[in-house]
């Protein structure tokens, strides 16, 4: 029993630690019935039949090498059983291709019926007496070439070699013993058939790096590294870099290498028939230059005919644009011609086994909208809006097409509203929400993602490809968080897994608010209301602190990988946030004549200088292994394209103010929610407090010139304490700014509304008397929910008071770490289908109000998603108390090939905000119901304006809550 317990805990550990989410087939201490594969001084011999695919042997060699990385003793690959004595044996091979495996099958030693004929499946098990002189072997049998390759890399990953061991320097996890478990592992077909990445927007970073390391060409040495990474990540599909390269002619080994290793080649939406954009004939015009275009397409088919290819069909204009002489009918002619070429060149009478795709990207959608008929055997590749919002998914008339559908997605983009090609700016929970929807809507034939330079996007790439491989691990809205933890465990170890997962989930929330390149477009955060700008800076600082603490706890080798994938984006990202936010605060302070405006200006200059220091740190890693990967500038965008300045782009401008004090005195006072500086301006009223007000009430006292001034603070009431109650502000030396905090002893305050006053008295000059409205009350004992403060109720979705299920087994569920502040409320399962208000699932948010609002308004913060099915748009309803629900269709209908109105703003802001009137709201208890009527609808924040909501980007502080 004892032993079993140990086995189970090892298994549980293995599940958590290796081969993310997949069952373990190995253990690292002696296991009953297990087979020792490696230990001190011993490593397995891997037997692979010489008749098997070359790519299988190649992956076998990688596995042999990987044993050396973790135990110190390399394994080796051989092609026959001769001379195997006293060595652990692994037999790997492909059913129907490896005579070795086929004879094990015919001898009844292994049963492959569960995988035979399946796409990319494998089985692993211990087999007794597989051959003369071999008492026992660990057998890996693949249903096809990649089935076997994945089986081999599955072992690599389980023994402790991350798919990212080279590309992100994840150190192999040392082992002293490795055992195969006695259980049989059967790995079925992947969820998505073709899963891959597109290297794009690859200048300056990746191209400069390739130039420095591969002699100026994306050659076969470079591609061998990329393909190995893809296979280790269980991907199988690749669109090569195309800005200034030609995959097949830059290095004639590129094409055969892909096929040998097991990668199905594709080309981007703008490169038909396996040809490179840079090979295009001119003029690129089907009308005027048809014969040359036809020859060009034929040559592409001929060149790649012996290799595994997913053929890109159709055509677009030159340089990612529409062709002026193409229309829906002509495009059908083009596709028919291309299919004809494929039949003749591949010598097939029909194309059912020839993968082909047509990408509905940008203007191409317009042709489809106009009724264009695409041959049924061509996969329709739906695209996102370049910002991670899928525009369209199969509707019922499309789901049974034999070619199926897929998704072209972006983690990097060059174009409107602005480029994002510097570092990781992806919220994983959003990727999950969109790709889960795609999978549920049968867009599962191809998933391809634009990954820019590849390197800084390790995390979103892993997440995307793991989902594509096995979506059954990602059916829950909480799956992103669990996956993140498993990912962090694999890359950095269990000790920091939880912390790292939380860190990157938080990073996702901070970055979805505004991409770095867009921070200076109508600077989003308010410096006046809700402490918003400061709060955002504080969140970044806290995040960096946590990441730095995790980093410090790691060994030196793991620190490098952690820096590349976690600490760097946070550090480098914070620099940009800090510079823009403090430049905005500098402007606000300068208007107040606040001398610390100058300190902020210095802070911005110093932080801006830090950018290069962090870049150099990245470039200096491992003696310059990744030099150039951070060449992309990211400051000072003025429109969609790179500003073309020197790295890192222009610093946000800051003002330095003179040290001459205004006539109203050196001491200035400002309060939250008012930009004024007094004495001098109009004396503001402090924003009110009640016992549930979520934020602290503060008063800033500061120097407005050179010199110093003593002051005291007194309160009119004994139950109000202000700390500090005296101090000295001083500039340029000493403390220029003091923030006084107000505390109310509610047990002593009079009940109901009252007004207290707080007086700031400088030693010389006029005093400042501020009124502080108070409202002392208690919500009923049994109340659970939010409490209004200052005419606002701000709701985070996870804090509902109850929920009710709907038709078809539907319910509302929380996506943790979704949206800009906290969590998302979404509809599950997708398959429950469209609901009416009568049948929709709902969440109920209770709140307690104290103001009388004659015309209350509700604002719902939604993601910038699209109506992926035109006839069933995203839909929800809200209703207050017993008032009838108001149905909201948040995204205006649009035609394919164009964007819904409000698109640009919503993508820039990471949110689409829709509002509705709630009418008159009396003080007391209320219940807000939120019904979700359409699968795919998500809400990530709600603000109810009872008359006091100020203009801000993220909305007021989450309201105080009781009973949670």
Ligand X SMILES: *[C@@H]1O[C@H](CO)[C@@H](O)[C@H](O)[C@H]1NC(C)=O
Q: List residues binding ligand X (CB under 6 A).
A: 396, 399-400, 695-696
925: which strand partners?
848
Report the SS3 class of residue 374: coil
As measured in angstroms, the least distance from the Cβ of 694 to ligand X is 6
741 or 920: whose CB is closer to ligand X?
741
252 or 400: whose CB is closer to ligand X?
400
- CA trace torsion 638, 641, 647, 649 (10° rounding): 10
916: which strand partners?
858
695 or 927: whose CB is closer to ligand X?
695
212 or 399: whose CB is closer to ligand X?
399
As measured in angstroms, the least distance from the Cβ of 400 to ligand X is 4
234 or 820: whose CB is closer to ligand X?
820
329 or 400: whose CB is closer to ligand X?
400
As measured in angstroms, the least distance from the Cβ of 392 to ligand X is 16
Residue 389: closest CA among 406, 405, 408, 404: 408
CA angle 127, 130, 133 (to 5 degrees): 125
As measured in angstroms, the least distance from the Cβ of 358 to ligand X is 20
602 or 695: whose CB is closer to ligand X?
695
As measured in angstroms, the least distance from the Cβ of 538 to ligand X is 9
539 or 695: whose CB is closer to ligand X?
695
Q: Tell me if 835 sits within 8 A of 808, measured CB to CB.
A: yes
Write out the H or E segment, with its range, that includes residue 26: strand 26-27
426 or 742: whose CB is closer to ligand X?
742
Report the SS3 class of residue 734: coil
Q: Tell me if 283 sits within 8 A of 259, measured CB to CB.
A: no
Residue 830: closest CA among 821, 822, 841, 819: 841
693 or 826: whose CB is closer to ligand X?
693
| Rounded Cα distance, 317 and 100, in Å | 51
User: Does a cis peptide bond (omega within 30 degrees of 0) precede residue 935?
Assistant: no
- 174 class by beta-carbon count within 10 Å (0-12 exposed, 13-18 middle, 19+ buried): exposed
Residue 673: closest CA among 914, 471, 948, 394: 948
As measured in angstroms, the least distance from the Cβ of 535 to ligand X is 8
Instruction: Give the single-character DSSP code of 566.
Output: I
Report the SS3 class of residue 595: coil
| Rounded Cα distance, 3 and 193, in Å | 41
> Which long-range CB contacts under 8 A does 751-758 form with residues at least 24 apart?
751/776, 751/777, 752/776, 752/777, 756/715, 756/716, 756/717, 756/720, 757/715, 757/716, 758/686, 758/699, 758/713, 758/714, 758/715, 758/716, 758/720, 758/722
As measured in angstroms, the least distance from the Cβ of 741 to ligand X is 6
Instruction: Give the single-character DSSP code of 412.
Output: S
| Rounded Cα distance, 726 and 54, in Å | 80
As measured in angstroms, the least distance from the Cβ of 742 to ligand X is 10
Q: How many residues in the chain?
A: 964
Tokens 């990245």 — which residue?
618
Q: Tell me if 144 sits within 8 A of 119, measured CB to CB.
A: yes
As measured in angstroms, the least distance from the Cβ of 501 to ligand X is 24
| Rounded Cα distance, 621 and 748, in Å | 60
12 or 542: whose CB is closer to ligand X?
542
90: which strand partners?
46, 138
Task: State the DSSP string of 776-815.
Answer: E----TT--EEE-BTTEEEE-TT--SEEE--GGG-EEEEE
Report the SS3 class of residue 357: strand
Q: Tell me if 340 sits within 8 A of 349, measured CB to CB.
A: no
416 or 695: whose CB is closer to ligand X?
695
As measured in angstroms, the least distance from the Cβ of 542 to ligand X is 12
Q: Tell me if 631 sits within 8 A of 205, measured CB to CB.
A: yes
400 or 915: whose CB is closer to ligand X?
400
Phi, psi of 57 (to 5 degrees): -60, -40
As measured in angstroms, the least distance from the Cβ of 671 to ligand X is 16
As measured in angstroms, the least distance from the Cβ of 530 to ligand X is 11
595 or 774: whose CB is closer to ligand X?
774
As measured in angstroms, the least distance from the Cβ of 397 to ligand X is 6
Residue 240: closest CA among 280, 298, 195, 197: 197
240 or 935: whose CB is closer to ligand X?
935
| Rounded Cα distance, 534 and 527, in Å | 7
374 or 486: whose CB is closer to ligand X?
374
Report the SS3 class of residue 698: strand
Write out the H or E segment, with its range, that includes residue 671: strand 667-671
382 or 483: whose CB is closer to ligand X?
382
Phi, psi of 131 (to 5 degrees): -160, 165
| Rounded Cα distance, 226 and 406, in Å | 22
Q: Tell me if 799 sits within 8 A of 845, measured CB to CB.
A: yes
As measured in angstroms, the least distance from the Cβ of 593 to ligand X is 27
As measured in angstroms, the least distance from the Cβ of 480 to ligand X is 27
Q: Which two tokens stand for residue 678?
A: 């007094």
Helix 568-591 vs helix 497-512: crossing angle, to nearest 10: 40
402 or 917: whose CB is closer to ligand X?
402
As measured in angstroms, the least distance from the Cβ of 445 to ligand X is 15
As measured in angstroms, the least distance from the Cβ of 695 to ligand X is 5
As measured in angstroms, the least distance from the Cβ of 82 to ligand X is 52
């Amino acid at each position: 029993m004892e032993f079993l317990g140990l086995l189970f805990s090892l298994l549980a550990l293995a599940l958590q630690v290796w081969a993310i989410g997949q069952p373990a087939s190995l253990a690292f201490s002696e296991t009953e019935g297990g087979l020792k594969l490696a230990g001190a001084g011993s490593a397995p011999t891997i037997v692979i039949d010489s008749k098997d695919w070359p790519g299988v042997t190649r992956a076998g060699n990688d596995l042999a090498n990987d044993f050396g990385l973790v135990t110190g003793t390399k394994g080796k690959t051989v092609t026959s059983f001769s001379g195997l004595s006293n060595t652990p044996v692994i037999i790997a091979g492909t059913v129907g291709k490896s005579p070795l495996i086929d004879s094990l099958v015919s001898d009844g030693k292994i049963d492959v019926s569960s995988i035979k004929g399946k796409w990319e499946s494998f089985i692993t098990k211990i087999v007794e007496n597989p051959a003369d002189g071999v008492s026992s072997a660990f057998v890996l049998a693949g249903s096809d070439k990649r089935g076997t390759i994945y089986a081999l890399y599955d072992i690599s990953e389980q023994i402790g070699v991350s798919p990212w061991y080279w590309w992100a320097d994840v150190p192999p996890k040392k082992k002293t013993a490795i055992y195969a478990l006695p259980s049989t592992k059967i790995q079925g077909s992947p969820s998505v058939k073709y899963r891959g990445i597109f290297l794009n927007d690859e200048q300056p970073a990746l191209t400069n790096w390739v130039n420095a390391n591969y002699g100026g060409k994306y050659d076969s040495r470079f591609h061998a590294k990329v393909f190995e990474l893809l296979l280790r990540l269980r991907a199988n599909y690749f669109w090569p870099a195309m800005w200034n390269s030609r995959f097949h002619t830059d290095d004639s080994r590129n094409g055969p290498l892909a096929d040998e290793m097991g990668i199905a080649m594709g080309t981007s939406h703008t490169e038909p028939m396996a040809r490179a954009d840079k090979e295009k004939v001119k003029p690129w015009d089907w009308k005027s230059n048809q014969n040359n275009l036809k020859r060009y397409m034929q040559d592409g088919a001929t060149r790649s005919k012996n290799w595994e290819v997913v053929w890109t069909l159709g055509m677009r204009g030159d340089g990612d644009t529409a062709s002026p002489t193409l229309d829906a009918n002509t495009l059908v002619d083009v596709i028919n011609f291309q299919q004809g070429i494929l039949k003749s060149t591949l010598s097939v009478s029909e194309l059912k086994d020839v993968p082909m795709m047509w990408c509905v990207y940008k203007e191409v959608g317009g042709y489809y909208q106009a009724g264009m008929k695409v041959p049924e055997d061509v996969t329709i590749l739906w695209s996102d809006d370049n910002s991670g919002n899928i525009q369209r998914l199969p509707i019922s008339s499309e789901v049974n097409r034999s070619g199926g559908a897929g998704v072209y997605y972006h983690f990097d983009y060059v174009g409107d509203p602005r480029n994002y090609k510097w570092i990781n700016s992806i919220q994983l929970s959003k990727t999950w929400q969109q790709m889960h929807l795609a999978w549920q809507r049968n867009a599962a034939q191809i998933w391809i993602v634009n990954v820019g330079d590849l390197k800084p996007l390790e995390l979103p790439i892993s997440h995307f490809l793991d989902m594509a491989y096995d979506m059954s691990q990602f059916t829950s809205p909480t799956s992103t968080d669990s996956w993140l933890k498993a990912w962090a465990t694999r890359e950095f170890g269990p000790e920091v897994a939880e912390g790292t997962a939380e860190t990157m989930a938080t990073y996702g929330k901070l970055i979805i608010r505004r991409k770095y390149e867009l921070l200076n477009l109508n600077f989003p955060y308010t410096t006046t209301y809700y402490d918003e700008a400061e709060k955002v800076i504080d969140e970044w600082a806290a995040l960096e602190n946590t990441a730095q603490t995790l980093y410090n706890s790691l060994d030196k080798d793991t620190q490098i990988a952690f820096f590349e994938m976690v600490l760097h984006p946070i550090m480098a990202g914070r620099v940009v946030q800090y510079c823009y936010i403090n430049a905005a605060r500098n402007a606000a302070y300068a208007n107040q004549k606040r001398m610390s405006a100058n300190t902020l200006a210095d802070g911005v200059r110093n932080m801006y200088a830090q950018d290069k220091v962090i870049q150099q740190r990245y470039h200096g890693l491992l003696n310059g292994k990744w030099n150039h990967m951070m060449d992309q500038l990211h400051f000072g965008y003025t429109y969609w394209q790179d500003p073309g300045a020197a790295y890192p782009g222009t610093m946000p401008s800051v003002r330095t103010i003179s040290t001459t004090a205004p006539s109203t005195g050196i001491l200035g006072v400002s309060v939250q929610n008012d930009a004024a500086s007094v004495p001098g301006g109009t004396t503001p009223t402090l924003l009110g407090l009640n016992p549930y007000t979520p934020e602290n009430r503060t008063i800033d006292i500061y120097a407005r010139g050179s010199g110093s001034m003593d002051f005291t603070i007194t309160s009119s009431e004994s139950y109000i304490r202000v700390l500090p109650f005296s101090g000295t502000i001083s500039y340029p030396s000493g403390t220029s700014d003091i923030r006084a905090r107000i505390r109310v002893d509610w047990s002593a305050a009079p009940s109901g509304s009252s007004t207290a006053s707080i007086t700031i008295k400088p030693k010389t000059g006029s005093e400042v008397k501020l009124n502080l409205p108070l409202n002392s009350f208690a919500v009923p004992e049994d109340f659970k929910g939010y409490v209004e403060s200052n005419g606002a109720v701000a709701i985070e979705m996870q804090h509902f008071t109850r929920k009710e299920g709907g038709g078809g087994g539907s319910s509302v569920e929380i996506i943790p770490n979704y949206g800009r502040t906290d969590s998302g409320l979404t509809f599950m399962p997708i398959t429950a289908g469209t609901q009416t208000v009568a049948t929709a699932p709902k969440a109920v948010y209770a709140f307690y109000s104290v103001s009388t609002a004659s015309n209350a308004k509700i604002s719902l913060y939604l993601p910038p998603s699209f109506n992926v099915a035109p006839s069933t748009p995203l839909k929800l309803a809200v209703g207050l108390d017993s008032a009838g629900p108001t149905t909201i269709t948040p995204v205006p209908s649009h035609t394919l090939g164009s964007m819904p109105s409000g698109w640009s703003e919503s993508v820039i802001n990471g949110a689409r905000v829709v509002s509705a009137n709630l009418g008159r709201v009396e003080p007391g208890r209320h219940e807000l119901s939120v019904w979700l009527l359409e699968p795919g609808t998500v809400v990530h924040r709600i603000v109810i304006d009872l008359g006091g909501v100020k203009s801000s980007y993220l909305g007021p502080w989450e309201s105080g809550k009781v009973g949670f």
